[in-house]
Chains A and B, each alone.
Chain A
Amino acid sequence: MAKNDLQGTLDLLVLKTLAHAGSLHGYGIVLHIQSASNEMLRVEEGSLYPALHRMEQSGWIASEWSMTETNRRAKYYKLTAEGKRQLERAQESFDQLVKGVRAVMRFA
């Protein structure tokens, strides 16, 4: 049985983004999710930063300050080993949710 909620989905999106991009700042994560989803998903900054902070506390991601290409200071996040494992778990859980929902949709 899959366990899921909106919070979990945001976590999954962030983890996946970082897995793909390696190291990214918060604004970059927003942009990446937006473009990767063909502008279908827009992440609210008001929920992104708390999520980032929580995931960092959980040890899934690590952060460090460095300079952007435009020479601004920004906080860059990247996946930890634990984060990679969490991504796999979350992905599996999400896949099951999708399957479940699909099955229901087909049946109904």
Chain B
Amino acid sequence: MAFFRRIVNLSRRSRVDREIDAEIQSHIALRTDENIAAGMSADEARREALLRFGNPTATREQVAAADATLSVEGLVRDIRFTFRQLAKSQGFTVTAVVTLAVAIGANAVVFSVLQALVLRPLNLPGAQHLYTIEQDGVPMNSYPDYRDVRDRNRAFDGVALYNFAPVGLNTGANPQQLWIYEASGNYFDVLGVQPYLGRFFHATDDHGPNSDPYVVLSYSFWRTHFHSDAGMVGKMLELNGHLFTILGVAPPKFRGSEMIYSPDLWAPMVDQQWIEGSNSLEDRNTRGLWLIGRLKPGVTVAQAEGDLNRIAGELKKSYPIDDDGLHFTLARPGLVGDMLGGPVRAFVAGLMLLAGLILLAACANLGSLFAARAADRAREIALRLALGSTRRRIVRQLLTEAFLIALFGGTAGIAAGVLLLRALSAWRPVPDFPINVPVNPDATTYAVAVALALVSGVLCGLAPIRQVLRSAPWEVVKNAAAAAGPGRRFVLRDVLLVAQIAICAVLLTSSLVAVRGLAHSLHSSFGFEPHHAVLVNSDLNMAGYSSERIPAMQRRMLDAAGSLPGVLSTGLIDTIPLGLGWSQTSVFKIGTTDFRESNEAAEPMNYAVSPGYFKAAGTTLLAGRDFTWNDTGNTPPVAVINREFAEKVFGSIARAMGNHFIQGSKHTSIQVVGVVEDGKYVTLTEDQRPSYFRPLLQVPSSSTWMVARTTGEPQQVAAELHEALHGLDDALPFTLLTWDNELNSSLFAARAATISLGVLGFLGAMLAVTGIFGMASYSVGKRLKEMGIRIALGASNLQVLGASLGRAFRLLAVGSVTGIALGLAATHLLSHIVYQASPSDPMVLLGTVLAMLIVGLVATWAPAQRALRVDPTRLMREE
């Protein structure tokens, strides 16, 4: 406020000057009158009056200066003075600015992520009315579910459907893989999006399967692929060997109805056959499609869920088998419903909490820095008070100092944060999958960061103000040495330091828990061996293969790869375990007649694999046999199951062998011919799931992952493998990568968690080091003389260290113990995100204690050296 008053006063200055002048003139006139009355001549009287007054201009300046709030000159002078002060104590300034920058940077980044993923709704008109429709927390619906919900509901203005799928684009030369949203006809209308160019498809364009060969381009795809050529509208694209007409281009800001999966194209869902090679439009029990609905105004979430479950009740009566257990819920849209949304929101909130702790630690650090500085300057301040400076003026100077530091620290922090956020926004964490997280900072982020910087800076700067205001100058001047002893005035700083060390220990504990968990997951058994293996992901459908030609082509691909030198064995699987897709089916014990979900024996993962897959993948066969090329559609259905399946459904591996189970939808009776080891299928943190594998010839799939086990480093065969496969069919798009790389996608969550926690832990440790360093070097500096006397009297090094640093280490111990206890309690949350993250791991405890000790040693090293090197004789002479 004072600042604004100064600005306002700028215009007042001349008025005030005039008033002072007038007062001076009146004073001189009054004395002149008096002089004349005393008998002087008019000239003489005036001369004497002027002489008596002295220099009026100087007086005017002095009067104006008495009110420093009167001019910006005062402010400029304050700032200049503060700059000089700060430049004089560079150690203090750099520490304070860096401390604040670290905290503000961390908070700006985390807040921006929070803002992008959690706080900000989807960038769509009326987004607050949009909800993802889920079935028991999973956003998986079938096309008939969509039709029923769309037509029978009373709670929504509209319900749209979409599904994410890869598609092959024929570009003439190198085929390219794109990502597409298959969307219901009303998709754009329900979301309320208008085309940037051309037009969108609408509900009225739906005329049954494969009736609607149109695509809409995303703005970025149109820009990068067609160089923003407006003439592309109306032209044709060849996708998976089918021709689609380009209807229009979506607006630049529309990245689809999910936050982190942005498509290149949109096509009508009814074209599923053309895009995926098969369609499930009439398959009531094949659930994998995403629904988003726009609530009618005034309808609550609970009312809408009630309405949806009324429909579910009707459906259960009409389709007792397929729709058994159907139950709808609503979730916030944008992060695949609650599936990603739940953990992401929990984790980002947790991160925000930790970042808040960092800020608290930084504030504690800053507070004690400022307090130490004030104590150091007590003598100077006392002197200034004694010389007539007002307390207000001194407080103002302290405030200016805090303000400048907040400004510098905040600016540096925000700048670093923005750089990091730019990098994050451009980052594609999963190879060949269009996941990216747009977390560019917006105005709110900047405002929050600036506010945080100013509030924390100024509050910390004011921490020692009581101390300044209460100090009686003569006391301080009189007992300069005594005032510096470890008296009561340092209690506040001690508490701050302990708090800060505790926070640091919390951060360290949680990051260590995460790191240990990640290390565990990297070395745990996946049920396959990802090292020394290359994966080739392809979809023959994208090159227009008909279903009769697919098995032969797949065999040719396996043979081509297998004959390369350096490739040990090869095999195909339809969906890669720990990849981004999976499929689950109900299975029943033999003899079951009522195929309701509630009667199922298990709901295992299911895969289709070629002969040789288990060998190539490094999955151990525990009993029975692998598939052969003689297991075809004309021979009895067979399966290889995992140990969990065998034990859960049959009781043991031995009893499972040769036995049968019934597979859900088609009620096929399948014979178990082999048992393999258990593995991880969807996430690393999952409980053990049952699974079974069927021969690819019995359950054909155009989309496969080829596993090629290599003798040496997999990169060495990559080029030859690429050549060989391209030689088989140059119109077939495929991606080739090592299995280790592919796994990155499933480790992504754990890795992101670990990296962010690690960074926060490191920042916390840095703050603790500076905090302890400040405290230790301060107390050593203050007690140098005492140390000198002790050394002169024959104290050992240990005694000197104990005397000078004992306090710092006691505080370190108290803070660490508190922090570790709190950290262990808090990290239970982590065990849900990071596989095998257990807070009761002795390594974590040991690691944290060790880390805190290192922090303590690093921080006190220099002060300790200084205490030990004290030369008593020189010190005595100096006093």
Contacts and interface: CB of A to CB of B under 8 A. Distances in A.
A50 to B, nearest CB: 4
Given A70-B33, A74-B26, 4 more contacts: A46-B62, A51-B66, A74-B30, A75-B22
A102 interface: no
A70 to B, nearest CB: 5
A61 B745 CA distance: 76
Contact of B62 (A49, A57, A68, A72): A49
Interface string A62-84: 00000010101111000000000
A49 B54 CA distance: 12
Interface in A1-15: 1, 3, 5, 7
A75 B23 CA distance: 6
Nearest to B30: A27
A46 B31 CA distance: 15
Given A72-B26, A72-B29, A57 B67 contact: yes
A27 B29 CA distance: 10
B52 interface: yes
B388 A5 contact: yes
A99 B367 CA distance: 42
Contacts of B31: 27
Interface in B428-481: 472, 474
B65 A45 contact: no
Given A5-B388, A54-B67, A49 B20 contact: yes
Contact of B27 (A27, A50, A51): A27
Contacts of A32: none
Given A45-B52, A46-B58, A73 B65 contact: no
A26 B63 contact: no
Interface in B492-530: none
A25 interface: yes
Which 4 A-B pairs have CB atoms at the shortest separation, nearest pair first?
A54-B66, A27-B30, A50-B62, A53-B66
A30 to B, nearest CB: 8
A53 B316 CA distance: 88
Contacts of A7: 388
B59 A46 contact: yes
A22 B62 CA distance: 26
A49 B26 contact: no
Contacts of A74: 23, 26-27, 30
Interface string A24-67: 01111000000000000000111101111110010000000000
Given A45-B52, A46-B59, A73 B66 contact: no
B648 to A, nearest CB: 85
A68 B32 CA distance: 14
A3 B471 CA distance: 13
B81 interface: no
B30 A68 contact: yes
10 contacts: A25-B26, A27-B30, A45-B53, A49-B24, A50-B62, A50-B65, A53-B66, A57-B67, A72-B33, A75-B26
Contacts of B22: 73, 75
Contacts of B728: none
Interface in B17-59: 19-20, 22-24, 26-27, 29-31, 33, 52-55, 58-59
Interface string B385-408: 010100000000000000000000
Given A7-B388, A26-B23, A75-B23, A49 B63 contact: yes
B859 to A, nearest CB: 41
Nearest to B61: A50
A70 B30 contact: yes
Contacts of A68: 30
A68 B54 CA distance: 23
Contacts of B27: 25-27, 45, 49, 74
A1 B32 CA distance: 44
A45 B59 contact: yes
B30 A49 contact: no
A54 B226 CA distance: 74
Contacts of B67: 53-54, 57
Interface in B664-702: none
Nearest to B31: A27
Nearest to B60: A49
Contacts of B33: 70, 72
A21 to B, nearest CB: 15
A105 B480 CA distance: 27
A50 B23 contact: no
Contacts of B63: 49-50, 52-53
Contacts of B59: 45-46, 49-50
Contacts of A72: 26, 29-30, 33
Interface centre among A46, A49, A75 (most CB of B within 10 A): A49
Nearest to B27: A27
B477 to A, nearest CB: 13
A35 B323 CA distance: 109
Contacts of B19: 75
A84 B64 CA distance: 25
Name, among B29, B30, B54, B474, the residue most crowded by chain A CB atoms within 10 Å (CB to CB).
B30
Contacts of A3: 472
A27 B333 CA distance: 79
Interface string B150-183: 0000000000000000000000000000000000
Contact of B66 (A5, A44, A46, A57): A57
A46 B65 contact: no
A73 B55 CA distance: 21
A50 B53 CA distance: 13
B718 to A, nearest CB: 80
B266 to A, nearest CB: 70
Interface in B51-93: 52-55, 58-59, 62-67
B30 A45 contact: no
Nearest to B474: A1
A45 B54 contact: yes
A60 B728 CA distance: 98
Contact of A50 (B29, B66, B472): B66
